[in-house]
Chain A
């Protein structure tokens, strides 16, 4: 079965701790993306990567970091510098960047207290 997996589904952390969200895809897609969605809000782009070992900041990259060491994997670290980390985090992939359709993973709901 081809798809995108994110783990865990729910994540709870104390303020001041860094946390890493996992995203894996077996669609052989080149491009991968991280979005944040807050209640009643649209999708906001955090980081994206169009090729292994390369990634670009999105609209709200401050307080986040990523790596792309393998084509299949694009983990997101939410650092203690992120002021309001509680949100629904969505990973997506597409065949290539730009005008191609994106497919989303199931998401990780992060709660920081």
Chain B
């Protein structure tokens, strides 16, 4: 059974600090990794894709991938109250597997 594991949270982070979200996956052949943001009552929105080991930066977001450790993370710099949401991690090879998400709460 292929799985993507995330801590459900909530993860509380002060405004302006760095939020660090983590994810592990079980399928070693996964090639593509995604982070989605989902606000309460809304649909998931793709915020980052990463395909190779290392870091990928996009604005305040940095995705990190370590295939040897089967580990993906998302860093959010200068956290804002608008970043409060559930963040879904996903891993894909022949199919995409979603984690259940981590709830992030940015404290004003």
* Bound together: yes
Binding site for B on A (CB under 8 A): 41-43, 90, 97-107
Decide: B100 and A104 in contact? CB cutoff 8 A: no
Given contacts A43-B88, A99-B31, A101-B32, contact A90 B96 (CB under 8 A): no
Cβ distance B1 to chain A, nearest Cβ, rounded Å: 11
Query: Counting CB contacts under 8 A, is B60 at the interface?
Result: no
CB distance from A29 to the nearest CB of B (A): 13
Are A100 and B98 closer than 8 Å at their CB atoms? no
When distances are taken between beta carbons in the complex, the residues of chain B under 8 Å from A43 are 44, 88, 98
Q: What are 18 A-B contacts defined by CB distance under 8 Å?
A: A42-B100, A42-B101, A43-B44, A43-B88, A43-B98, A90-B44, A97-B94, A98-B92, A98-B94, A98-B95, A99-B32, A99-B92, A99-B93, A100-B32, A102-B34, A104-B36, A105-B43, A107-B43
B55 surroundings in chain A (CB, below 8 A) = none
Given contacts A41-B100, A42-B99, contact A104 B45 (CB under 8 A): yes
Interface size class for chain B?
20 to 34
**A97 close to B99 (CB less than 8 A):** no
Given contacts A42-B88, A97-B95, A98-B92, 8 further A-B contacts (CB under 8 A): A41-B100, A98-B94, A99-B31, A99-B93, A99-B94, A101-B32, A101-B34, A104-B45
Residues of B participating in the A interface, judged by any CB pair closer than 8 Å: 31-32, 34, 36, 42-46, 49, 88, 92-96, 98-101
Closest Cβ neighbor of A56 among chain B residues: B95
Task: Choose from A42, A100, A104 the contact partner of B43 (Cβ within 8 Å).
Answer: A104
**Of the residues B88, B96, B98, contact of A99 by C-beta under 8 Å:** B96
Q: Considering the chains assembled together, what is the distance between the CA atoms of A100 and B49 in angstroms?
A: 10
Chain B neighbourhood of A41, CB < 8 A: 100
Residue of B31, B32, B44, B101 near A104 (CB, 8 A) is B44
Q: How far is the CA of A106 from the CA of B43 in the complex (A)?
A: 5
Distance A43 CA – B6 CA, assembled complex (angstroms): 13
